[in-house]
Structure 1
Amino acid sequence: MKRLVVGRRIRSDRLGEQQLPKRIALPVFASDPLSSVAYATQEILLILTLGGMAYLSMAPWIAVAIVVLLAVVVLSYRQVIHAYPSGGGSYEVASRNLGAGAGLVVAAALLVDYVMTVAVSVAAGVDNIISAAPELNAYRVLLNLGFVALLTAMNLRGVRESGRVFAVPTYLFVVGVLILIAVGFAEMLAGHPPVPESAGWQITPEPDHVGLTGIALVLLALRAFSSGCTALTGAEAISNGVPAFRPPKSENAARTMGLMGLLSITMFSGITALALLTHVRYVENTCDLIGFPGDCATSAQRTIIAQLAAAVFGGAHSIMFYYIQAATALILILAANTAYNGFPLLGSILAQHRYLPRQLHTRGDRLAFSNGIVLLAVVAGGLIWLYQGSVTALIQLYILGVFTSFTLSQTGMVRHWNRALLTRHDRLDRRRMHRSRLINAFGAVFTGLVLIVVTITKFTHGAYLVVIAIPLLFVMMRAIRRHYDRVAAQLAPEPGGMVLPSRIHAVVLVSQLHRPTLRALAYARATRPDTLTALTAAITPDDVRNLQDEWNDRGIPVALTVVEAPYRDLTESVLEYVAGVHHDHPRDLIVVYIPEYVVSRWWEHLLHNQSALRLKARLLFQRNVMVTSVPWQLDPGHADARAVTAEPRLPADTVRT
C-alpha cells in the first residue's frame, strides 16, 4: 500500500534531481499567493457589505493599499533571497539579526500560517466546487478532508513529481483569469458591460453597522483591509524554498518571486476592478440579500469569481464558466501545496537547530520531509473538521502569522544592511545597500502597521486563538531545545576515556524451561559475568514446583532463584530483586537477559511477549541496569516434533562466584 501511494524509494545521491526549474517552482511555491486573488476581493466586499451598500465606495482605496503592500513585500523578500539563500527565509533573517527569540517567534508564526494556508485554501476550493454544483454542499467537510488526503499523498511522492502535477492547474488558472479580465473590460469598452446575477439585488444592512462615522467607520475600513490582505499569504514561501531551485539558486528564486508579484497584482487589480464596475454583491449571510432566489437558509451564494465568469462568458452553463470554476477550484486546493513545501522545510531547519523533534529533519522514501508533511495534514484536517470547512470562520485565524513574520523579517533585514554598510566602502555597493535598506525599512513599517490593524480588527473574530497559539509554540520549541541541550550535556563523554564497571551481575529471567530460556542462559554464561542468577517469580506455586523439578532433572548448572510474587505481578517482583542487587553493589553493572520468541505474523505479536515489553519499559529507567533481549525466531510453518530434543547446549561452567 505504501509503495502504491508513495512510489519507489529514491537514493540519497539523487537529491539533486529533485531541484526545480523556474517554470515548475512558480506553481510549487507561488500557488498560494496566486490563488488568493480568487477570494481576496470577496473578503473585502464581505466586510463592507455588513453596512449594506453604503460603504462600497471605500473598496477601490482598500484595493490600492493592498496592491502597494504586495509590491513592497515582493521587493523586500527579493532582498532576503539574495542575502540569505540557504532557505531559512524569515526565520533565518530574524534569528541572525534580532536574536534566537525573535527567530522563534517568526518560526511559530509561519508554522501557524502554513497550517491555516492548507485549511483556508482547500475550504475555498471546495466553496467554488459547490458554486458550480450546489447539491454537494451537504458533503462539504468530507470533500475538504478528501482533498487534504490527496494533497498529502502527492507531496509524499516528492517535490518534483508533485510540482509537475500541480503546474498545469496553476497555469490554467492564471490564463483563465487573465482572459476573464481582458474579455470583461473589452465588453465594457464595446458598450456591453457584463451583468452579474447579484447586480440587481439589494442588501439588508446589519443593525449595528448602519450609519457608522468617525472611528467606527475607520475600524470597518481597516477590518476590510485586513481581510483583503489574504492576497499576500504565501508570499514568503519562495524565500524559504531557495535550496529547491536549480543553480543559480538565488537568481532563479528572485526572478520567480518577481513574476509571482507581477501576476498577483495584475489579477487582483483586474478582478477587483471588474467586480466593482459590474456591481457584484457578496454578503456573509445569504438571507441579507433582497432578491436572492431560493431558500437562503440552505442555498450558498456563488463566489465573486463565479459570478464574474457567468456574466462575462454568457451564463452559468457556458464552457468558459466551467473552465474558470474548475481552474479556480483546482488552484485553490493546490494552493495548499505552498504550505506542503514550506512547512516541512521550515520544520526540518527547526529540527536541525533542535527546536522541534529530530524526526522532522529526516527525509522519507522520496526525499521529501515526510514526517512534516503528515503532521501538517493532520493539524489542518483537524481545523477543517472543527470549523466545518467554513472559509469565513477559518480566514479569521489567517493573516496574523503572515504579518508577524513579514514585520520581523524586514526589521532584521534593516539591521543586516546596517552591519554590511560598516564593512563596505565601494560607492556602488553602498548605494545599492542604502536602496535595499530603504525598501526593507519601508516594508517593516508598513507591515508592522498592518499587523497592528489585523490584530485589532480580527482579535474578537477568532484571531485570539492565533495570539494564543504562537506563544504556546514558542514555549514548546524553547522547551524542546532545553531538553536536547540537557541530553547532549549528559551524553558527552567524560574526560579520561572509558570507565569500566567494577563487576557485572547477570540475571536471566525464566518463565518456563524451553529453548529461548536455554539460549539466554548459554549467551549469559558466554559473556563471563562475575555472578549469574536464573530468576523466576512464584506467581503460581504448582508451576514453580514443576519448573524446579524439571530444572533439577535436566541438571542445569545454574542455580534457580525464586522470588515471591504475592500480587502475581512479574514486573514488580523482578524490579524489587534488581533494586536489591543495586543496593548491595551500587557501583556494579547489572545485565538482565530476557528470552523472547519472535513470531512471523504481525497479529501474532499480540499473543506473545506482552509481559516482556512492560518489564523492559520499566527496567530502562533503572540506573546501572542494562537490558538484553535474546530472541528465538519461531518457524512460521508446522512445529517439528523433534525440536524439543535439539535444545542449545550450555557451555562449560565459567562463572566466577
Structure 2
Amino acid sequence: MAALKRLLIGRPLKSTELGEQKRNKKKALAILSSDALSSVAYGPEQILLVLVTVSTAAFWYSIPIGIGVLILLAALILSYRQIIFAYPHGGGAYVVSKQNLGIYPGLVAGGSLLVDYILTVAVSVSAGTDALTSAFPALHEHTVGIAVTFVILITLLNLRGVTESASILAYPVYLFALALFILIGVGMYNIVTGHVSPHLHTPVGTPVAGISLFLLLKAFASGSSALTGVEAISNAIPNFKDPAPNNAAKTLMAMGILLAVLFSGIVFLAYYLGISPNPQETVVSQIANQTFGRNFMYFFIQGTTALILILAANTGYSAFPLLAVNLAKDRFIPRMFTVRGDRLGYSNGIIILGLLSIVLIVAFHGQTEHLIPLYAVGVFIPFTLSQTGMIVKWIREKPQGWVTKLVINTIGALISFTVSVMFFATKFAQIWPVLIFLPLIVYLFHRIKKHYEAVGEQLRLSTCEPAVPIEGNVIILPVSGITHVVEHSLNYAKSLAADQIIAVYIPFEREEENRFEEKWQKWRPDVRLVTLHSPYRSIIHPLSKFIDTVHRKASESNYQVTVIIPQFIPKRSWHNLLHNQTSLMIRTYLLFRKDVVVTTVPYHLKK
C-alpha cells in the first residue's frame, strides 16, 4: 500500500518545502479562475433557456441581460479586491461575515461555500462530460462512469500537491481561452464581412408578447450563474507567492477582464446567430458548428470546453480545503482538516470533497444541471453576506477613502441580494433544499464547537477534577487456553509489579471448566485462576460482570483495575479472516468502560 501511495501521489515533502508550493500569478489565474471561466460555457445558455419559454423572438433580451451580468461582475470584482487587502490571510466570505456580522452569519457563509464547492466539482465534471458526449454521442450511456473517473483523476492530481496540479492543469485553461478567442474573433469577422445572414435573429428592441419584468429578472438570475467561482481567489490567498495580497488582487482583475470578454462574446454570437437551446447540443457547440463546421477547429473548441468544464472542479479543490482549515481552526468542523498530507496539501479536505462529489454525480445520474440554481444561490448568499460585512467594516473603522469603498460594497451587496431573492422567487422548486440543509449545517457546526469546548474544559488542569491517587494495581487477564500468547502476556503482567494478577477463563461446558483448572494448576499454580461458566456461550457478559465486581472492591482502596488482553498477530493480514476476533471484541467493549485501563499485548506469529 505504501508503494502504491508513492506511485499515485509521489514522495513526501518536507515542511520546509512549503514555500516552493506557492503559486505564481499565471498558474493561479489558470487554477482559480477555471470555475468562473468555465461558466461561459453554460451561463449564456441559462439565459436563453428562460427566454425561450416566451419565444425565440425574445432572444434579443439576452443582450441587456448580459450587460446587467457584466455590471454585477464588475461590482463583485471590485468588492472582492477590497476583501483581499482587508483580509490578506484568506477565508473570504466566511472570515468577513464572522468578524463583521457575527458568528452565525459567518457560519451561513462558510456552510454555503462548503456545499457550493462540492456542487462545483459535481456540476463542472458533469457539464464537461456533457460537452464530450455532444461531440461523441455514442458515449451518452457512459456519462456517470466517465464523470466519476474524472473526479478520481482530479482528486489524485490535487493530492500530488499544489505546484504539480497547477503545472499540469494550467495549459488546458489557457487553451480554452485561446479557443474561445478564436471562435469569437472568427464569428465577429464573419458578421462584419456579411457572411452571416442578418435574418437569423430578431432585431434589438422588437416588441415581444408575453415578456415581463419577472421573467427578465429570472433570466438575469439564471445568467448570473456565470459568476460562480469569483470568490475563490479571496479564499486562497495563502497559496499565492509573496506579496500574496498584491498577486491575488492582480489575478482577480485579470480573471474579471477575461471572463467579461468571453461571456459577452458568447452572448452576442448566440444572439446574432439565432442559437436556440438544445438538450442534445450545447450553445457553444452550436456556435462552433455554425462558425467552422465539423472540422478540426470545432473539435478543438469542444475538446478544450470539455477540459475546462472538467478542470473547473479544480477551483473547488483549491478553495474547499482552505475554507475547511479556517472553519477547523475555529473548531466548527473536525480538526483533521487542518492536517497537511505528505505533499503539503490539506489532503483530508481534498479526499472528502472528491467522495462527496462522486456521491452527488451518482445520485443524480450525471444530470446535475438541476443543481445549477442550487449551486448559484449557494454562492450569492455568501456574496451578499460578505459585501454587507464589508459595509459594516467601513462604517465602523472609517479608514482613508472609506466612502468610495462603501459605495462599491453597497452596490455589490444590493445586486447580490436582488439576485438571491430572484432565485428564491423564480426557482423555489429547485432551491428549496437550501432552506433545510443550511440550518442543519449551522446546527452541526454549533454542536461540533460545543463538543470541542466541553473536551477542552474537561482536559484543562485548572478546571478538571483532581486526579485520584492510585495506591495499587489489580490485573485481569482473560485467557482462552495455555499457549505462548498467554505466557507472553503473563510475563508482561508480572513485569508491572501488580498487587494481584487474576487469570479469567470462560468455559461453555462444565467438563471443559474442570479440565482447564487442572491444567492451570500444573502450569501456573502461582497465578490465581477464576473460571466463569457461561451457559449462554457469551464471553462479554460474564467478563463484564466480573470486572464490575473487582472494580467495586478495588475502588474502595484506590486500586486501579487493568485488563490485559492477549492477542496473536498473524504474519499476513488476510489470515485474520480465519480466526475469531474475540480479543478485538473484548477490547472494543472495554474501551468505553469508565475507570478501567485496557492493554493489548501482541504476540506476532512467524509463519
**One of 119, 128, 135 as aligned partner of 1:116:** 119
- Aligned residue for 2:403, secondary structure, equals helix
The question of 1:480 aligning with 2:448 is answered yes
Which amino acid in 1 is paired with 2:20?
E
| Alpha-carbon distance between aligned partners in 2 of 1:139 and 1:77, rounded to the nearest angstrom | 40
* 1:292-339: CA deviation from partner (whole Å, max 9, x where unpaired): xxxxxxxx2x211111112222x12x1111111111110010001000
| Alpha-carbon distance between aligned partners in 2 of 1:234 and 1:539, rounded to the nearest angstrom | 65
* 1:562-593: CA deviation from partner (whole Å, max 9, x where unpaired): 12322111111111111112223335321000
The question of 1:234 aligning with 2:229 is answered yes
Aligned residue for 1:455? 424
| Alpha-carbon distance between aligned partners in 2 of 1:93 and 1:194, rounded to the nearest angstrom | 51
Aligned residue for 1:66? 69
| Alpha-carbon distance between aligned partners in 1 of 2:378 and 2:475, rounded to the nearest angstrom | 57
**One of 289, 292, 297 as aligned partner of 1:310:** 289
Aligned residue for 1:649? none
| Alpha-carbon distance between aligned partners in 2 of 1:138 and 1:613, rounded to the nearest angstrom | 45
| Alpha-carbon distance between aligned partners in 1 of 2:317 and 2:500, rounded to the nearest angstrom | 57
| Alpha-carbon distance between aligned partners in 1 of 2:527 and 2:393, rounded to the nearest angstrom | 72
- TM superposition shift of 1:538: 2.3
| Alpha-carbon distance between aligned partners in 2 of 1:264 and 1:508, rounded to the nearest angstrom | 70
* 1:83-114: CA deviation from partner (whole Å, max 9, x where unpaired): 11112111111111111111110111001111
Give the 5 Å matches for 1:218-617. 218-283=213-278, 300=280, 302-313=281-292, 315-316=293-294, 318-421=295-398, 430-431=400-401, 433-460=402-429, 462-494=430-462, 499-586=468-555, 587-608=558-579, 610-617=581-588
- TM superposition shift of 1:594: 0.5
List, as ranges, runs of 4+ consecutive aligned residues in structure 1 with deviation greater than 6 Å.
Answer: none
Which amino acid in 2 is paired with 1:176?
A
For structure 2, the 5+ residue unaligned runs are 203-207
- Aligned residue for 1:635, secondary structure, equals coil
* 1:399-450: CA deviation from partner (whole Å, max 9, x where unpaired): 11100100111111112222322xx5xxxxx22x222122112211211111
| Residues 201, 272 of structure 2: 8 Å contact kept | no
| Alpha-carbon distance between aligned partners in 1 of 2:197 and 2:551, rounded to the nearest angstrom | 87
The number of residues matched between the two structures is 596
| Residues 374, 431 of structure 2: 8 Å contact kept | yes
Which amino acid in 2 is paired with 1:521?
L
Between stretches 496-505 and 178-187, larger displacement belongs to: 496-505
| Alpha-carbon distance between aligned partners in 2 of 1:167 and 1:542, rounded to the nearest angstrom | 75
| Alpha-carbon distance between aligned partners in 1 of 2:585 and 2:335, rounded to the nearest angstrom | 26
| Alpha-carbon distance between aligned partners in 2 of 1:255 and 1:387, rounded to the nearest angstrom | 38
The question of 1:88 aligning with 2:86 is answered no
- TM superposition shift of 1:54: 3.8
- Aligned residue for 1:234, secondary structure, equals coil
| Residues 40, 263 of structure 2: 8 Å contact kept | yes
| Alpha-carbon distance between aligned partners in 2 of 1:391 and 1:281, rounded to the nearest angstrom | 21
Give TM-score scaled by structure 2 length: 0.94
- Aligned residue for 2:52, secondary structure, equals helix
Q: Structure 1 pair 588/15, CA: closer, same or farther in 2 (3 Å)?
A: same
Q: Structure 1 pair 524/194, CA: closer, same or farther in 2 (3 Å)?
A: farther
**One of 129, 133, 147 as aligned partner of 1:130:** 133
**One of 207, 210, 213 as aligned partner of 1:212:** 210
- Aligned residue for 1:568, secondary structure, equals coil
| Alpha-carbon distance between aligned partners in 1 of 2:193 and 2:133, rounded to the nearest angstrom | 33
| Alpha-carbon distance between aligned partners in 1 of 2:214 and 2:513, rounded to the nearest angstrom | 81
- TM superposition shift of 1:153: 1.3
| Residues 588, 624 of structure 1: 8 Å contact kept | no
- Aligned residue for 1:533, secondary structure, equals strand
Aligned residue for 2:205? none
Between stretches 176-185 and 51-60, larger displacement belongs to: 51-60
| Residues 590, 626 of structure 1: 8 Å contact kept | yes
Which amino acid in 2 is paired with 1:303?
T
| Alpha-carbon distance between aligned partners in 2 of 1:465 and 1:227, rounded to the nearest angstrom | 18
- Aligned residue for 1:547, secondary structure, equals helix
Q: Structure 1 pair 555/579, CA: closer, same or farther in 2 (3 Å)?
A: closer
Give the 5 Å matches for 1:93-112. 93-112=96-115
| Alpha-carbon distance between aligned partners in 2 of 1:89 and 1:266, rounded to the nearest angstrom | 25
Give the 5 Å matches for 1:7-86. 7-86=10-89
| Residues 520, 595 of structure 1: 8 Å contact kept | yes
For structure 1, the 5+ residue unaligned runs are 202-209, 287-299, 425-429, 637-657
| Residues 132, 325 of structure 1: 8 Å contact kept | yes
Aligned residue for 1:157? 160
Which amino acid in 1 is paired with 2:306?
A
- TM superposition shift of 1:139: 1.4
- Aligned residue for 1:87, secondary structure, equals coil
| Alpha-carbon distance between aligned partners in 1 of 2:70 and 2:491, rounded to the nearest angstrom | 78
Which amino acid in 2 is paired with 1:446?
I
Which amino acid in 2 is paired with 1:139?
H
- Aligned residue for 1:344, secondary structure, equals helix
| Alpha-carbon distance between aligned partners in 1 of 2:81 and 2:325, rounded to the nearest angstrom | 23
Give TM-score scaled by structure 1 length: 0.87
Aligned residue for 1:634? 605
- TM superposition shift of 1:194: 7.2
- Aligned residue for 1:3, secondary structure, equals helix
- TM superposition shift of 1:497: 7.2
| Residues 91, 107 of structure 1: 8 Å contact kept | yes
Between stretches 70-79 and 466-475, larger displacement belongs to: 466-475
- TM superposition shift of 1:609: 5.8
| Alpha-carbon distance between aligned partners in 2 of 1:400 and 1:589, rounded to the nearest angstrom | 58
Which amino acid in 2 is paired with 1:305?
V
| Residues 57, 201 of structure 2: 8 Å contact kept | no
| Alpha-carbon distance between aligned partners in 2 of 1:465 and 1:380, rounded to the nearest angstrom | 17
- Aligned residue for 1:50, secondary structure, equals coil
Tell me the C-alpha RMSD between the 2 structures.
Answer: 2.0
| Alpha-carbon distance between aligned partners in 1 of 2:302 and 2:508, rounded to the nearest angstrom | 71
- Aligned residue for 1:535, secondary structure, equals strand
Which amino acid in 2 is paired with 1:219?
F
- TM superposition shift of 1:499: 4.3
- Aligned residue for 1:78, secondary structure, equals helix
